[in-house]
Amino acid sequence: MQSIEPNHDFLGLIGIEFDDGLRLYGVTPRFWYQKYSPELYPLEQASVRILRQKEEANFDDCEFAEDERRQVEKNIERIKLNYNDQDILEEDNQDGKTEADEDSVLEIDFKPEEVLTNLFNLCEFYRENQKEELFVDSEFSSNRLPLFLYENFVGKLEANTRELRRTYRSVVEQVGAVRGKITTRGMMMMVARPSPRIECEFETFDVRAPLYRVMMTTLDVIRSSHLPSGFKFLDERFQQICRRGANLRMKLIEIPSFPLASALRECRILRRRLPRMFKQFEEIIPLAEQILRNESEKQKEEESEKDSPWWHITAPSSKLWELLLEKSLEDNSNYQVESQESLEGPWEGSGQKNIDLCIQPTSTDNNGVFLVDAKYAKKKDIPSSGYQYQQFFYAVAWAAKGPPPSAMALVHPASNEEEEKMNPISYNLVGKISTLINKGEIPFKLWTIRFPQPEDLEKSNLVDYLSETNKRLEILMAENQV
C-alpha cells in the first residue's frame, strides 16, 4: 500500500497532469474539524484527493500508485522551498496525536469542489494581506500558479494606462506642418531662411520605449497562459484574468513586444534606474520581472523536465496563523498591534529574533504590552521546554529596554468552539518568568483561538471569523492583565 504524509508547513492546492488527466490534491489544515477520506473522487474533467496535514494517506496498491506517490512527494518537497521559515510541522513527540485528538475529528461526506474552494480562499487571504516584499529572485522554478501575481500586475497596469499621457515626452523636431508650438529658433529660421520644414516642440508617446515594450511582453505571457481544465471555479478565475490581459494588450496593440530574454534584461535595467517620467510604474516593474522570470524558467523546465507538469496555490500555515491573529485586531481601537518586533539578545549565530505580535492597549490607563507568539501546533497544558526558554528570553530582552511586558502568551489553534473555550487560560506559569526581571511577575499564558473552518471560508475576506477572533482576544487579554 502506497502512502504519503503531508507534514510540511503549507496548505493549499496542487495540480499534477498525469497521462490519464489532471489530478488535484487539496492539502487541508490539521485544525479543520472535518476529516475527509483520501480516496480518489471525480471532479468535472479531473480527479481529486484530499490530504490532511500530519496524517498518513493511503493510495491504491498498484503500479500507478507508486508513480503518483513519487510525484506528489517530490512536488511537496519542491513547494516547501518557497517558504524560508518553518519547513516541517512539529514532531508528534511534542504535539502529537492522542486518542482524544482522533475522536475530536469527524469524517464526513463532502463535495470536493467545496473543499478546494475553501483552501483557495485561505490562500487568497494570505496572498492579499501579507506584508512581505516581492523579491524577484525568490520564486524560481516554484511552479506556483501565478494567478494572484497576474491579477496584481494587470490591475496596476489598468490603473496606470488611464494616466498614460503623463508619460508622453517633449521633443523638438523639424516637421512639414505646424505641430504643438513653433520654437523661438523655428520662428527665427522662418524669417532668416524660409523652408518647407518648421522646427516645433510637441509631446509624443514613444511606443518603442523599453518600459512599454516590457509591459507588453508581460501581457503576451499572461494572455497566452492556460490552465488544464478540471476545476470550474479556478478555471473561470484564471480565464478571467487572461481575458483582461488580452483586452489590455489589444488596446495597446501599436506597442511592439520584446523577445523574452530582452524583456528580462530591460527589466533589470529599469529596476536599477527608472526614468522620472515613468515613476508611476515603479511598483509594476518587479511584478513584470517576476512573471517574465517564471515564464523563462517554465520554458527551460519544459525542455528538460521528465516529470509530469504541475502547479500549486499554497500558503505557509504558520505565517497564515500569525496573519489571522494580526488582522483580527487591525480595526480594534482599543489595541495597537505591531508584528515581527525585533529583539536584541544573546542570539549569536541563530539569526534575528522577532516577537510575532506586540499588542498594546491604547488607553493611557494601561501601558502594559502583551508579547504574543502564534504557534501552529496543538496546545499542551505544559509547553515544551523550548517554548518556555524562548518566552523567558523574549521577556528578558523586552524588559532590558524598558518596562517588563504585562504577559507572555502562546496562541494555539483550536478546531471548534468547545476546544477553544475549554480551560482558556490553561496552565498558568506565573513564577516561571518572575522575580528575575525588576522583581515583578510576568505571567506566561497559553491561549486557544479557533482556526477558520470550512463554514468560515465561503469568502476569502473572512470578515465574520476575524470579528469573532477579535472578541475572543479581547476577553483573554482583559482576563489576564496584570
The CB-side HSE value for 152 (13 A sphere, CA atoms) comes to 19
pLDDT at 401 over 60: yes
The x, y and z cell numbers of residue 297, run together, are 524558467
When pLDDT is cut at 50, 70 and 90, the band that residue 30 belongs to is very high
Q: Which of 102, 95, 122 is nearest to 7 (CA)?
A: 95
Report pTM.
0.82
3-state secondary structure of 353: strand
Distance between CA atoms of residues 426 and 430, nearest Å? 12
pLDDT at 253 over 80: yes
- Element spanning 242, H or E: helix 232-251
Is the CATH number of domain 317-480 3.40.50.2300? no
Q: Are 37 and 62 in contact (CB under 8 A)?
A: no
Domain with CATH 3.40.1350.10 in the chain: 317-480
Tens digits of residue pLDDT in 203-215:
776 666 788 899 9
When pLDDT is cut at 50, 70 and 90, the band that residue 77 belongs to is confident
Distance between CA atoms of residues 473 and 461, nearest Å? 19
3-state secondary structure of 73: helix
Rounded (5°) CA angle 321-323-324: 65
Tens digits of residue pLDDT in 86-140:
566 765 444 444 444 554 555 667 789 999 999 999 999 998 887 654 444 444 4
